[in-house]
Each structure stands twice: as C-alpha cells, then as structure tokens.
Amino acid sequence: MKRIGIMTTGGDCSGLNTVIQRLYRGATLRGWRTIGILDGTDGLCTTPPMVLEFDNDTLPIESARLAGSFLHNGRAGALNFETAAETGKLSQFNKQLRKSLTDLKLDALILIGGNGSLSLAWRNRDIYSDLQLICIPKTIDMDIPLTDKTIGFNTAVQQLTSFCDQLMLTARSHHRWFVVQTMGRDCGQLALNAGIAIGATAILIPEIKFDVNSLIEHIKNFPRDYGIILVSEGISLRGHSGRPADMISRKLTAAKICNRTAYPEHTQRVGDTTAADRILAARMADCALRAIENNETYVMTAIKDCKCETVSLADFFAAGDVTADPNIPDLQTSDAYVSPDDPLLDIATSMGIYLGEIK
Ligand code: F6P
C-alpha cells in the first residue's frame, strides 16, 4: 500500500480543497493511504511532523468547494526556504524536512503550490530524492510557465468580476469612475481577464507601458461618464511610489475626472470554487495520481492544448526565466507573463478598452 503525502504551500486560493478531496478519493480507490501535511513546510519542521490522516469524514464532497486550504498554508513569519537561506540555516532546514519525510515513510509527495513554491522545490530538490515529487500548480496570478491553467485563477476572475459588476452600478449613479486595484504580482492575466468580462474602460497591466495623458484623454472621450479602470498591482509609474491605484486616482483627480479607488484585496482569493476550477482540480488530481503510478518524479501537472499531462520541473524552472521582451522595448517578459500575442489583447482593443501604448 502506497503512502501519499499532500501539502499546500504559498498563498491560498479557491480550489485547494477540491484538489485535496479529489486526491484523497482517487488515492483511496487505488488502495493507497493519504496523509495531509499541515501548514506547508511548517508541518515538516516539527518532530513529529504535523499531519492529518484522511478518512471519509475529513473532507466531505459538499465542503470541497470551499475556499482556503483544509491543510492550511502556513503562518506568516514561520521559517521557510527563503528566511532559512537569509539566516544561513538552509541546510539545517532542508535536513529537517528530509528527516520528516523519511519519518512519515512517504512514497510520494504531492505539493500544491504557486510559482515560488514550485521553484523552491526544484532548487532544493535533494530533499525529495527518496520519494516521488509531483507538483500541482495553483495561483490566482496565472504566472506559472508551461501550463495554460492554474487552480484558483478562474474563481479569482469570477470574484473580481462580481466585485466590479457591483461597483459599476454605483459608478453609474454618481457619474464617476472607479480605479480598482487587482492582485496578480507581475502578471496581468487576472486584470486582463476580469477587465474584458466587465467591459472595463482601461486595463493597466505590468507587461504593457501606458501613458497617463493618453489614459486621461481616453476617459474624457469615452462615450460614458462612468466606468472602471482596472489597475494590476504590478504596474509602476515613473517618479511615484505607493499603491498603483492611488497614483492613478490622483492623476485623474488632477485632470478633474471624478473618481474613487477600490481594493478587492483577498476577496480575489476566496469565493466558492467555480465549476471550471473544480473540473481543473479533478483533472490535475487525476493526472498527479497517474504520474505516481507511472513512477514519475520531479514533475508538474499542466494543461497544454486542452490536455492534462505532466511536464518536468526542470523545464518549468527554465521557462520561468525573465528576459527582455523583443516586442516591447525596456520590458521584461517570461513564459509566465501576458505575451504580446495573447489573443485577449486584441479582444480588449476591439472592445475599445485602453491597454496602454501597444501598437
Ligand atoms: O500570489 C498570490 C497573491 O495573492 C498575489 O496576487 C498578491 O500579491 C499576494 O499573494 C498577497 O499576499 P499576502 O497574502 O501575503 O498579502
């Protein structure tokens, strides 16, 4: 009987519980035991490790749609790969993790994580050399290379869309604009997708340079006197520091455009998991379990051309390299960011949405 560990690391998002539940059910049907590691790598830093053995009552199907992670994602300030490296304790930290995995007698570990967690898993891969390491990509940022989808993104787009739909009504009543700051780190996918869904007036994303005067002109010439300007948290404006939405709001106020700012913040990471994310979770969980059966290791589940398959962590890591973008001078790009030929850019433009200085 195989023993499978499951761990969620990094920021949470909706869909984690669905994938945990699908993994548990799929493993049980194969006659395997599943052990949930609590609090991400924190759970491996204690002796004995903090774990939860699943049974039929641990995560019933009806609660598998709930946001958050039933296994928790770890406490802020806890020792992790980065803080351990900074304080010169990385080898001690790695030794502890390796010992805990050995003590748990795991045949495989399924790590559900974002870009940072997966990169760290690859960089510190020796820890996992005695078992099979299978990763499942989750993030609302959609910044993971080599996969067209990540768990949690679709729900985040839905949450942001619903938030903006409500704001649009009050914006209309008062003839004013809302500058809404989205999450997403250095990747503009979340803002771009929600912006198209709500019919934003402008979408500012880190991958595309914009000009404040052109933005103001666009708003002033817009056929409506209300709407939403979506600002991705990763944008910057030369000579300004502080929150991007505040910077843009001040510029609009100076140009006599009546506006308010709004911050959906962590509401983008919660909300009942959408059907699309649940289906994605089921596909990725199934792919991860098949990878264990096929004796694979150091792989990540990925969606490519509508198929769910595994890609090697080495390839994932290499594809995440940030380089200069030949199409947009002065900008950096990677396989994980919005690419200049992303079809959604054309759609947004054809909807009359201001996207910045794209030709
Ligand atoms: O990576 C997910 C994410 O939600 C980002 O979009 C955001 O910048 C960050 O995490 C927020 O992190 P925290 O939960 O630490 O505030």
Q: Are residues 223 and 113 in the same domain?
A: no
The pair of structure tokens assigned to 90 is 């990385």
Put simply, whether the predicted model's pTM sits higher than 0.75 gets the answer yes
Q: Ligand 1: does its nearest atom lie under 6 Å from the Cβ of 269?
A: yes
Q: Are residues 135 and 161 in the same domain?
A: no
- The whole-number pLDDT of residue 334 equals 79
Give pLDDT tens digits along the chain (359 positions). 999 999 999 999 999 999 999 999 999 999 999 999 999 999 999 999 999 999 888 899 999 999 999 999 988 888 888 888 889 999 999 999 999 999 999 999 999 999 999 999 999 999 999 999 999 999 999 999 999 999 999 999 999 999 999 999 999 999 999 999 999 999 999 999 999 999 999 999 999 999 999 999 999 999 999 999 999 999 988 788 899 999 999 999 999 999 999 999 999 999 999 999 999 999 999 999 999 999 999 999 999 999 999 999 999 999 988 777 666 666 677 778 999 899 999 999 999 999 998 76
CA distance 156 to 183: 9
Contact 194, 222 (CB under 8 A): no
Q: Are residues 72 and 159 in the same domain?
A: no
Q: Ligand 1: does its nearest atom lie under 6 Å from the Cβ of 183?
A: yes
Q: In ligand 1, which atom is closest to the CA atom of 184?
A: 6
The active-site residue, picked from 12, 39, 42, 141, is 141
* 331 inside domain: no
Q: Are residues 193 and 126 in the same domain?
A: no
* Run of H or E residues at 218: helix 212-220
CA distance 7 to 30: 20
Q: Are residues 148 and 289 in the same domain?
A: yes
Q: Are residues 60 and 131 in the same domain?
A: yes
3 state DSSP class of 132 = strand
Q: Are residues 302 and 182 in the same domain?
A: no
Q: What is the DSSP string of 262-286?
A: E--GGGGG-SSPPHHHHHHHHHHHH
**For residue 215, what is the domain's CATH number?**
3.40.50.460
Nearest protein Cα to ligand 1, atom 14: 11
Site of tokens 């949450």: 159
Q: Are residues 124 and 7 in the same domain?
A: yes
Which of 182, 171, 173, 181 lies closest to 227 in space, CA to CA? 171
Q: Is 141 a catalytic residue?
A: yes
* 359 inside domain: no
Q: In ligand 1, which atom is closest to the CA atom of 143?
A: 1
* 33 inside domain: yes
Site of tokens 């005067």: 213
Q: Are residues 146 and 283 in the same domain?
A: yes
- Give me ligand 1 centre to Cα 263, in Å: 13
Which of 228, 204, 200 lies closest to 214 in space, CA to CA? 204
Residue 321: φ, ψ to 5°: -60, 135
Compute the Cα dihedral for 127, 50, 289, 116 and give only its sign.
negative
Contact 198, 228 (CB under 8 A): yes
* 265 inside domain: yes
* 326 inside domain: no
Q: What is the DSSP string of 51-113?
A: EEE--TTTS-GGGTT-SS-TT----TT---HHHHHHTT-HHHHHHHHHHHHHHTT-SEEEEEE
The pair of structure tokens assigned to 99 is 């010992």
* 108 inside domain: yes
Other residues' Cβ atoms within 10 Å of the Cβ of residue 16: 27
With the most atoms of ligand 1 within 8 angstroms of its CB, the residue from 14, 82, 115, 141 to mutate is: 141
CA distance 245 to 277: 28
Contact 113, 10 (CB under 8 A): yes
- The whole-number pLDDT of residue 78 equals 86
Q: Return the half-sphere exposure (C-beta side, CA atoms, 13 A cut-off) of residue 329.
A: 1
Beta-carbon contacts of residue 91 (< 8 Å; ≥ 6 apart): none
- Give me ligand 1 centre to Cα 39, in Å: 17
- The whole-number pLDDT of residue 320 equals 87
* 206 inside domain: yes
Q: What's the domain count of the chain? A: 2
Q: Are residues 97 and 120 in the same domain?
A: yes
Q: Are residues 17 and 144 in the same domain?
A: yes
* 325 inside domain: no
Q: Ligand 1: does its nearest atom lie under 6 Å from the Cβ of 114?
A: yes
Q: Are residues 9 and 129 in the same domain?
A: yes
- The whole-number pLDDT of residue 240 equals 85
Q: In ligand 1, which atom is closest to the CA atom of 10?
A: 1
- The whole-number pLDDT of residue 79 equals 84
Nearest protein Cα to ligand 1, atom 13: 11
**For residue 125, what is the domain's CATH number?**
3.40.50.450
Contact 268, 164 (CB under 8 A): no
Show the domain range for 79: 3-152+273-319
- Give me ligand 1 centre to Cα 1, in Å: 38
Contact 154, 280 (CB under 8 A): yes
